[in-house]
Chain A
Amino acid sequence: MADFVAETITGANSGLSGQPVLDVRGLVVEFERADGTIHAVNGVDFAVCPGEWIGIIGESGSGKSVTLMSLLGLLGDGGRVTRGHAWFEGTDLLQLPNRRLRSVRGNEIGVVFQNLAEGFNPYLPIGVQIAETLVSHRLCTRRTAHRRAIELMRELGIGDAKARFHQYPHELSGGMRQRAMIASAVASEPKVIFADEPTTALDSTVQMQVLALLTDICRKRGTSVVMVTHDLGVAAHTCDRIVVMYAGMVMEEAAIDEFLQHPMHPYTLGLRAASFDPDQPDRPLRPIPGYAPALLEAPHSCPFAPRCHLATARCREHVPALRRIGPAHRVACHHVQGENET
């Protein structure tokens, strides 16, 4: 255990301080399917400090959403956590009975999903749902809830909040709904917000509005955020630390400045080469060849080896461990040298 503590990067290294609010260790998640077991998450650990903003990036199917969902007890049928801990406020979320976990979710951990359908009840006006959150978390009385909900909606830039209070989720534009979802996520004043692709479904100018709001409100309240995104530009502009996932494993983790200046893992470099940079619109993009793995077996080699131009026999035979290579930097690759190795 002590060994693990020394290994995880905490905010102290990314310029922030304090005990982690959330500390995830050795998380393993599997799904039972007709065609076999899907090894969706294979030993993930990361810690989140107060006020820190963590970005989880990686291609689709790399286990980003499953990681977050498992911590919230939202895996659904066939999914189960087979190993690991998630320390939050002195308790292990993964050991909590469902009923207790439900009260943590939405109460102490706020949630903003990409898919709006998951976030709101379609049959209730959004204002009522936000007010309900406030009341159920005893942040105000039933009498004042209506007014507080409208204030909160205004704070999130929802114009004409009084009228919108009575509208149903489907009557709002995507951007408005996402704002309303953020309003209901922050309503309970949670310590951490999980945001899974919070702006992916939105137009780029609306995406910018929502991001600006989310950063603003979380900074003001000192809320930590764990954000899943595939947009490197978005992650680079909002996060304090980046976790790169592939095949359910952390491939690289670094404080943002280190991530921007010295990305190391071949997969991270591949993601960057495949990303459009508006400052160099003419640079040809180099997509990563091949496809993400099917995850039908637990990793017994570097999962990236079939797509990696540096792969050697060692990569195909041994799983690379996530090793610290600098004060705020961990990498899982046989061919990246650590601090004291050369």
Chain B
Amino acid sequence: MSVSPLLDLRHIEKSFRVRGKQLFAVRDVSLSIRKGESLGLVGESGSGKSTVGRCAIGLTAPDSGSVRLFGEELVGRSRRELRQMWQHMQMVFQDAGAALHPRMTVGRNVIDPLVARRLVDGREGREIARQLLEQVGLNPDQAEAYPFELSGGQQQRVMIARALAVEPQLLICDEPVSALDVSVQAQMMELFVKLKQKRNLSYLFISHNLPSVGQIADHIAVMYLGEIVEVGSAHQMFRAPYHPYSQALFASVLPIPANVDARRELRALPGEIPSPFDLPSGCPFHTRCPVAVGRCRDVRPPLRPVGDGHQVACHLA
């Protein structure tokens, strides 16, 4: 067994030019995932989660930094080389309907990655497709159906079956359940957790939906304005996060209290997330932080360890 992580991002920077202006999407992000471990990436819309995910797969080239997948550098590879490296890593996106071939049957969709690599013939493929569909909780006979005949949740299952076809070790999921109904979300999360246990799959699980992340992630990284402001165990993150932004973020998932007296007061962060075109000086969170002190406005706090494996970017942590 190798000791190098499945995925290792070092100092990723990415900005986009939009209408002549520079938009800072990802700033000095480092993260790594070891075999069998899963990392949740959370944060508000626009905080840079998907951009990190796309860099991790090689779909977006970072401006600087390195991305190592199974120990091999991914930055600068051709599409063809990338496709080779995707053998052991698959992606699942939010919009399953759009990602499936509308004119191929569900079964053919599932084995498409194998057919593309000429790894199976027709008969064998059909059998594999049926097995995979069954593993993701679909009726194997649905192999003959077309994607548009399935519900959103069923289409998402087909996507997962397809991702599993190449027996990946790492699954990168970007908002895989956000478009689904809550009860279907719970069923999908059950499937993800089962696959994690049965196949020892690792996940980079990107979502703004904290409950779903809470179910799959061993570790959670919190992004704000393109930066990771805290990373640590999922357990600690839900119970007592260190960073003032993580505190507000996790407090906004409301529990179901035991009775009326146990209800929490609804407390909200003031203000809005600043523009990614015009980043605040110092700590990116200082414009809204309830405990900010003088130096927060001028000095950007580095991400540093605070014990029990947590790293936090805050002068006060």
Binding site for B on A (CB under 8 A): 59-61, 159, 173-176, 203-209, 211-213, 215, 230-234, 236-238, 256-257, 260-261, 271-272, 274-279, 281-282, 284-288, 291-292
Contacts and interface: CB of A to CB of B under 8 A. Distances in A.
B182 to A, nearest CB: 5
A230 to B, nearest CB: 5
Contact of B266 (A237, A256, A275): A237
Which 6 pairs across A and B sit closest by C-beta, in order of nearness? Answer: A233-B254, A276-B211, A287-B186, A209-B268, A204-B252, A281-B238
B186 A285 contact: yes
Q: In the complex, which of the residues B190, B256, B264, B272 has the most CB atoms of chain A within 10 Å of its own CB atom?
A: B256
Interface string B22-54: 000000000000000000000011000000000
Interface in B117-151: 151
16 contacts: A60-B181, A203-B44, A205-B44, A211-B268, A212-B266, A230-B182, A233-B253, A233-B255, A237-B263, A271-B183, A276-B214, A278-B210, A278-B250, A278-B253, A278-B254, A292-B183
A244 to B, nearest CB: 13
B259 A257 contact: yes
Contact of A277 (B181, B212, B256): B256
Interface of B: 44-45, 151, 181-183, 186-187, 189-190, 193, 208, 210-212, 214-215, 234-235, 238-239, 248-260, 263-264, 266-269, 271-272
Contacts of A272: 256
B257 A260 contact: yes
B258 A261 contact: yes
A260 B263 CA distance: 10
B229 to A, nearest CB: 13
B260 A260 contact: yes
Given A276-B215, A285-B190, A236 B256 contact: yes
Given A60-B181, A203-B44, A205-B249, A285 B189 contact: yes
B235 A275 contact: no
Contacts of A213: 268
Contacts of B267: 208, 212
Q: In the complex, which of the residues A212, A277, A281 has the most CB atoms of chain B within 10 Å of its own CB atom?
A: A281
A54 to B, nearest CB: 15
A328 to B, nearest CB: 12
B182 A59 contact: yes
Nearest to B187: A287
Contacts of B181: 59-61, 230
Q: In the complex, which of the residues B239, B248, B249, B268 has the most CB atoms of chain A within 10 Å of its own CB atom?
A: B268
Given A208-B266, A281-B238, A274 B183 contact: yes
B266 A59 contact: no
A263 B260 CA distance: 13
Contacts of A292: 183
Nearest to B208: A203
Contacts of A211: 266, 268
Contact of A260 (B183, B256, B272): B256
Nearest to A216: B266
A232 B256 contact: yes
Given A233-B253, A278-B253, A278-B255, 8 more contacts: A60-B182, A230-B182, A257-B259, A260-B258, A271-B183, A284-B215, A287-B190, A288-B183
A167 to B, nearest CB: 14
Nearest to A289: B187
A303 B70 CA distance: 50
A206 B181 CA distance: 21
A283 to B, nearest CB: 9
Contacts of A204: 208, 210, 249, 252-253
A291 B267 CA distance: 36
Contact of B255 (A173, A206, A271, A279): A279
Given A159-B272, A203-B45, A205-B44, A274 B254 contact: no
B257 A236 contact: yes
A232 B268 CA distance: 19
Contacts of B190: 285, 287
A281 B251 CA distance: 13
B141 to A, nearest CB: 17
A59 B268 contact: no
B290 to A, nearest CB: 13
A282 B238 CA distance: 10
A276 B256 CA distance: 9
A205 B267 CA distance: 9
A11 B45 CA distance: 39
Contacts of B212: 276
A296 to B, nearest CB: 15
